[in-house]
């Protein structure tokens, strides 16, 4: 590949950190063959800083699920009630007067097609969302029991598996975490360690659980710095992993290069539905996301697929097969401005390499 020079990447980094409310950032770009690798950091971060990868954690869930599927320990068509406590096997999903709880399959969870409302962004009886309380600095735990008791009081988006419908819901991945624990007999943190962290020899990647651990870089909501150890420690399967740019890259390349499951099975994950903000317009498949770039923006220079995952904290992990380039890092800003800046940096790099 023709690699952009140091000045090009420093310019990208500068454009990210100059974005309003972005106080810290790290960007790592690497080719699939490993012949090219660049990392830059600015603001409150160093190149090796630990950060909360937030919903990028869900890509690690996909890696675990794909392994369990390969081993025949679980099937995508398994009903979720087979794995849930008795109190959640009914009236978890009541849509237009009908209880669809028994119709929800594992595939509906991992593809965000269950219709279950997102406990995090759905307005509750108080008129506020859990997200509102979190960004105000209300550091509370959201374990599965609390999530499901809340969800039972909320209106589902649609019935499970409705054609062409998807709705991003952290609820889905909290339930997936419980199902993985039931199938493996281990807590999700240990599952990640056994099936991913130890396999890749990751030393700075772990599920956040020690409330006294202050090593990860804080993230922001606009100008407000947020430190939410209780919340992060309670959401391991949906967003609880801490990592570095270097180790996120190791995982990302292993995911797409076939280290956890046959590489060709990536194609099976590409059952796309549109998902809307936050953090922006993108498509969701089976445990995999795709950035949607309108053809209007690149009418004569198509970029090809950009596959991976966003994290609410401005974290990201993306792969462009056309150029065999991998991108990861974070902007530590949850209001969406960091996501936009990261997208621009990724797009500019792909264009620079693909159309020199």
Task: Let me know if 193 is exposed, middle or buried by CB neighbors in 10 A (0-12, 13-18, 19+).
Answer: middle
Q: Using CA atoms, how far apart are residues 171 and 329, in angstroms rounded to an integer?
A: 25
Q: Using CA atoms, how far apart are residues 260 and 166, in angstroms rounded to an integer?
A: 26
User: Locate tokens 């909290």: which residue?
Assistant: 174
What's the helix, strand, coil split of the chain in %, to 5?
Answer: 35, 15, 45
pLDDT attached to residue 3? 67
Under the phi-then-psi rule, with left for phi > 0, alpha for psi from -120 to 50, and beta for the rest, what region is 289? Answer: beta
Strands 273-275 and 241-243: unpaired
Q: Using CA atoms, how far apart are residues 126 and 124, in angstroms rounded to an integer?
A: 5
The H or E element containing residue 348 is helix 337-354
pLDDT digits (tens, 9 = 90+) for 212-222: 999 999 999 99
**All structural domains of the chain with their residue ranges:** 6-354
CB atoms within 10 A of CB 105: 18
3-state SS, residue 8? helix
C-alpha 272, offset from chain centre: 16
For 5, 253, 256, 304, the CA distances from 264, given in Å and listed in that order, are 33, 14, 9, 17
CA angle (37, 39, 42) in 5-degree steps: 165
- pLDDT(1) > 70: no
**Residue of higher predicted confidence among 274 and 244:** 244
Question: What are 305's two structure tokens?
Answer: 């697929």
In angstroms, what is the C-alpha Rg of the chain?
19
pLDDT attached to residue 137? 85
Residue 52 confidence class, pLDDT cut points 50, 70, 90: very high
pLDDT digits (tens, 9 = 90+) for 135-147: 888 999 999 999 9
pLDDT digits (tens, 9 = 90+) for 117-175: 999 988 877 788 888 988 888 999 999 999 999 999 999 999 999 999 999 999 999 99
Spell out the alpha helix ranges (H) of 18-140: 57-70, 106-110, 130-135
Phi, psi of 71 (to 5 degrees): -85, -5
Under the phi-then-psi rule, with left for phi > 0, alpha for psi from -120 to 50, and beta for the rest, what region is 50? Answer: beta
Q: Using CA atoms, how far apart are residues 208 and 249, in angstroms rounded to an integer?
A: 19
Q: Which residues of 292-321 are buried (b: 16+ CB within 10 A; e: fewer)?
A: ebeeeeeeeeebebbbbbbbbbbbbbbbbe
Predicted TM-score (pTM) of this structure: 0.96
pLDDT digits (tens, 9 = 90+) for 78-115: 999 999 989 889 999 999 999 999 999 999 999 999 99
C-alpha 113, offset from chain centre: 16
Closest CA to 247 of 53, 98, 45, 109: 53
- Strand positions, DSSP E, the chain: 24-31, 37-43, 51-52, 94-95, 98-99, 206-207, 219-221, 224-226, 241-243, 273-275, 282-284, 289-291, 307-310, 316-320, 325-330
Residue 241 confidence class, pLDDT cut points 50, 70, 90: very high
Q: Are 179 and 88 in contact (CB under 8 A)?
A: no
The CATH class that applies to domain 6-354 reads alpha beta
Residue 19 confidence class, pLDDT cut points 50, 70, 90: very high
Closest CA to 155 of 128, 126, 125, 135: 125
């Amino acid at each position: 590949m023709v690699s952009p020079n140091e000045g090009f990447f420093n310019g990208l980094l500068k454009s990210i950190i100059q974005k309003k409310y972005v106080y810290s950032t790290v960007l790592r770009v690497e080719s699939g063959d490993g012949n090219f690798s660049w990392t830059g950091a600015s603001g409150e971060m160093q190149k090796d800083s630990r950060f909360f990868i937030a919903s990028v954690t869900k890509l690690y869930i996909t890696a675990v699920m794909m392994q369990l599927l390969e081993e025949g320990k679980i099937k995508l068509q398994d009903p979720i009630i087979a794995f849930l406590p008795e109190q959640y096997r009914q009236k978890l999903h009541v849509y237009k007067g009908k209880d669809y709880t028994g119709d929800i399959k594992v595939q509906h969870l991992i593809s965000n097609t269950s219709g279950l409302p997102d406990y995090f962004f759905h307005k509750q009886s108080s008129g506020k969302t859990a997200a509102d309380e979190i960004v105000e600095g209300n550091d509370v735990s959201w374990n599965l029991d609390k999530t499901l008791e809340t969800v039972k009081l909320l209106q589902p988006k649609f019935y499970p598996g409705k054609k062409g419908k998807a709705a991003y819901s952290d609820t889905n991945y909290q339930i997936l975490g419980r199902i993985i624990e039931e199938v493996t007999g281990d807590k999700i943190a240990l599952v990640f360690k056994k099936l991913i962290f130890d396999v890749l020899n990751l030393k700075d990647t772990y599920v956040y659980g020690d409330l006294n651990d202050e090593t990860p870089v804080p993230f922001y909501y606009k100008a407000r710095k947020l430190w939410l150890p209780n919340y992060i420690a309670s959401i391991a399967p949906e967003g609880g992993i801490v990592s570095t740019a270097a180790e996120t890259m190791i995982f990302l390349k292993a995911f797409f290069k076939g280290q956890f499951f046959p590489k060709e099975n990536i194609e099976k994950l590409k059952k796309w539905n549109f998902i809307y903000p936050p953090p922006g317009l993108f498509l969701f498949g089976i445990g995999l996301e795709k950035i949607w770039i309108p053809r209007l923006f690149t009418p004569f220079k198509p970029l090809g697929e950009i596959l991976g995952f966003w994290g609410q904290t401005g974290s990201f992990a993306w792969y462009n097969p056309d150029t065999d380039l991998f991108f990861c890092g974070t902007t530590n800003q949850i209001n969406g401005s960091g996501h936009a800046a990261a997208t621009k940096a990724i797009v500019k790099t792909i264009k620079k390499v693909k159309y020199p």
